[in-house]
Amino acid sequence: MKSPRCFPFLSGPFLFAAILLFAGCGRLAAATPPTPEPTAAEAPLIVLKLDDMRARDGKVPAAWQRVVDFAVERKIKISVGIICNSLAADNPDYIAGLKKIAATGLVEFWHHGYTHGSSKDADGGRVTEFSRSSYEKQRDSLLRGMQLAQEKLGVTFVAFGAPFNATDATTARVLSEIPEIRVWLYGNTRDTGGKFVARRVGSVNIENPVHKPNLSALVKGFEAAMSQEPRPGYFVLQGHAGGWDDEKFAEFVRIVDYLTEQGCKFVFPSELPLPDVS
């Protein structure tokens, strides 16, 4: 048998050994396992930050109740931001409904301002409860909300998220004086007021645009964020459940399904791995 022209030194036993070597390399290459998917332990924690709970017709709105019932069915945790002046009105059915929601053990209420209002200053600039408003007004909004939650619901808020996510340096100052609040949702990472600031990743959210749950946008943002090193340990996803119709609610369910498939665990803001920020 003649050796191949390109390898004249291969003949007899040398050719046979070479064939075995190349065949073995092929088998080794074929047996190389693919890159493993992230395990559940590596998957990020998820906070479902649901804004703007308030009474409708003196009761917990049906759209909100549907989301709570879904959380109970799936045994997932959600967090609900209460607009606190809704606790001041004479709405016994609403208060009873909130207490029933709290009793599920799957909902953590948080402080979402007292009025959730805004106005214009003399120059036409926007003023909100926690942006460009006085120290006295911001402190009053926070403390009145804390007091009502305790009196009406027996709840001590441990997390705060401003209406419109609009805050300023005064907000950090006021928060620093309220030790009960430990988590500032979407707060200022440069001026934390001694709180754990649960950061916002704009591309990873329930709604895109605001008020419209969007699975495809979330998947795109989630995959991009998780391809970075180090991988994020958590995401805080914002939504406005009170405005979800059937179609929007169904899209929210698909988002929860997707995150569950990724191995994500749904937690309260107070359950994030809070460092010592004192």
Assign residue 240 the CATH number of its domain: 3.20.20.370
pTM (predicted TM-score) = 0.84
Please, are residues 79 and 49 in contact by the beta-carbon 8 Å criterion? yes
Backbone φ and ψ for 30, nearest 5 degrees, come out as -65, -30
36 inside domain: no
pLDDT of residue 98: 99
Specify the number of domains making up the chain: 1
Judge whether residue 192 has pLDDT over 50: yes
13 inside domain: no
pLDDT of residue 125: 85
Band the pLDDT of 272: cuts 50, 70, 90: very high
State the residue range of the domain holding 125: 44-271
Cα angle for residues 143, 197, 240 (degrees, 5° grid): 75
CA–CA separation, 204 and 253 (whole Å): 16
CA–CA separation, 177 and 193 (whole Å): 8
168 inside domain: yes
122 inside domain: yes
pLDDT of residue 26: 46
29 inside domain: no
pLDDT of residue 39: 59
Judge whether residue 175 has pLDDT over 90: yes
For residue 244, the 8-state DSSP code is: -
Helix, coil or strand: residue 40: helix
Mean pLDDT score of the chain: 89
pLDDT of residue 3: 46
16 inside domain: no
The token pair at 135 is 């120290």
Rounded average pLDDT over 52-56:
98
Residue 131's beta-bridge partner residues?
128
Judge whether residue 23 has pLDDT over 80: no
Helix, coil or strand: residue 38: coil
Rounded average pLDDT over 206-212:
97
262 inside domain: yes
Please, are residues 176 and 116 in contact by the beta-carbon 8 Å criterion? no
Pick from 237, 186, 240: which is nearest to 211 by CA?
A: 240
Judge whether residue 167 has pLDDT over 70: yes
Pick the residue with more confidence: 25 or 125?
A: 125
Band the pLDDT of 41: cuts 50, 70, 90: low
CA distance readout (Å), 30 to 19, 36, 55: 17, 16, 62
24 inside domain: no
